Amino acid sequence: MGERGRVRQCGHPFLSQRSSIRPTDQLTNDYSNSYVWNDRKQFGQLVGAFQGMQHQMAQAYTEISAARALVYNAARKKEAGEDFVRDAAMAKLYASQVAGRVSGSAIEWMGGMGFVREGIAEKMWRDSKIGAIYEGTSNIQLQTIAKLLQKEYTK
């Protein structure tokens, strides 16, 4: 079974919910990258040819990969019977933050086409907001992480 399938079978709301949203991050990134490297032009050249744009796209891809690794690590710990709540909270927190950043950046990269209601980037940005709310807000995730850290480090 693939990693995503294992994550969904874990039965923990933080893991299954986040794993169902994660593909939207990659889809948004794939769609916007394709658009700026193949279609959108400024100053007579493709926007993807600009070094600053390439750095932003590389950063987004790195953050998506890191969020995926956090989700998979939490799922691995749960599957192994290890304590995973802090890892699940970190995964949900970070993945929802990345979803917002990546989809927001995609809107900017795509210019006017990113903001139209019929476009995928705008829809993914709206959908990313659910990741910060559903099954516990980002502040709740931070509190969960902090309480578990305090428990670990308090003598």
Helix and strand numbers, DSSP H then E, in the chain: 7, 2
For residue 31, give both structure tokens: 């769609």
Of 19, 129, 117, whose CA–CA distance to 74 is shortest?
19
Q: List, as one string, the DSSP characters of 6-25.
A: HHHHT--HHHHHHHHHHHHH
Of 63, 82, 118, 135, the catalytic one is 135
135 given a catalytic annotation: yes
Query: Taking a C-beta distance cutoff of 8 angstroms, is the pair 120, 28 a contact?
Result: yes
- DSSP three-state, residue 46: strand
- Between CA 99 and CA 124 the distance in angstroms is 8
Catalytic residue annotation: 135
